[in-house]
Structure 1
Amino acid sequence: MNPQNEAKLWQKISAAGSAAVAKNGYVTAIDALLATGWLQPEKVEEWRRGRVSYLEQVIVASLPKVSTAMRVFRKWTKSAGLRPSETVYVSWTKDRRKLRFSKSGNPEIERAYRTHWLPPKPSSAD
């Protein structure tokens, strides 16, 4: 991805990330991917309802682009001083099965997707 496009991606992800933290108290990789426009809210809902095998299946971008967005997202979370909190995603179905994010099912990729990023803890001096 060329530097100009990566800068635009940073702007979209940082704006969406800041808004998500302000609204929800955390930000997710899904928030970042929604910000790119490559993932639509209704597709996330289909995945949550168990109608899609894995989230990457409904992202309308190549895996290299998705990887770039995820790398930009991780860099932004670090620059914003956010702290990771690993979360389990389960379907909105009766069986509440664990949801899968990636085609490969690679544990590191799955962890990157399911980690929520929280604001830093207030210092004890406050």
Structure 2
Amino acid sequence: MSDKRAEKINEEIERQLEERGYVAIPDVLIGIGMLPESKYNEWKKGNLRCLEDGCSADLSKLHNVLKAVKSYAEENGLKPSVVRYNAEAKGALPLRFTMSNDPVRERLYSTHYLDPWQAQEIRRGRRK
């Protein structure tokens, strides 16, 4: 991965942490330009087979993003939390992230990384 791409990923992670106290892979992909928001919305409605179908990058680049986010989270003490994504328009049907339905990559895509301190500070600020 290029230094420029790694820097862009890190900036997006830091923006999400500052804004809401956690990082979500789909939002990182949107933020770095690999996933158009319109494709994300189609996927959330259950109109795409998987999230990867909506991405403009190849699977190798997507995998590099997954690894970079996980590595950043581990290095910075963020807490992982697996989140179930369900289609909005089709009841509680779970959404798929990967073309291959690989359970390891599915889990990586669906993991949010939480900065407990920052999330608490954000919640406090909203209560005021």
Would you say same fold, with TM above 0.5? Answer: yes
SS for the counterpart of 1:45 is: helix
For these two proteins, the number of residue pairs brought into alignment is 118
1:72 is displaced (CA, Å) by 1.3
**TM-score normalized by the length of structure 2:** 0.84
SS for the counterpart of 1:27 is: strand
SS for the counterpart of 1:116 is: strand
Matches within 5 A, 1:70-109: 70-109=66-105
Looking at structure 2, the residues matched to 24 and 40 of structure 1 have their Cα atoms a distance apart, in angstroms, of 21
1:120 is displaced (CA, Å) by 4.3
Looking at structure 2, the residues matched to 120 and 79 of structure 1 have their Cα atoms a distance apart, in angstroms, of 15
1:12-32: CA deviation from partner (whole Å, max 9, x where unpaired): 111111111222221111122
Residue pair 1:54, 1:99 contacting (<8 A) in 2 also: yes
Amino acid at match of 2:67: R
Percent of residue pairs bearing the same amino acid type: 32
Question: Which of these residues, 21, 35, 44, is aligned with residue 48 of structure 1?
Answer: 44
Amino acid at match of 2:10: S
Residue pair 2:21, 2:116 contacting (<8 A) in 1 also: no
Q: Residue in 2 aligned with 1:31?
A: 27
Amino acid at match of 1:28: A
**TM-score normalized by the length of structure 1:** 0.85
Question: Which of these residues, 90, 97, 109, is aligned with residue 113 of structure 1?
Answer: 109
Q: Which runs of 5+ in 2 are unaligned?
A: 119-128
Q: Which runs of 5+ in 1 are unaligned?
A: none
Q: Residue in 2 aligned with 1:12?
A: 8
Looking at structure 1, the residues matched to 113 and 37 of structure 2 have their Cα atoms a distance apart, in angstroms, of 20
Residue pair 1:13, 1:73 contacting (<8 A) in 2 also: yes
Looking at structure 1, the residues matched to 108 and 36 of structure 2 have their Cα atoms a distance apart, in angstroms, of 19
Looking at structure 2, the residues matched to 40 and 65 of structure 1 have their Cα atoms a distance apart, in angstroms, of 16
1:96 is displaced (CA, Å) by 2.3
Q: Residue in 2 aligned with 1:61?
A: 57
Looking at structure 1, the residues matched to 7 and 77 of structure 2 have their Cα atoms a distance apart, in angstroms, of 17
TM-align CA RMSD: 1.6
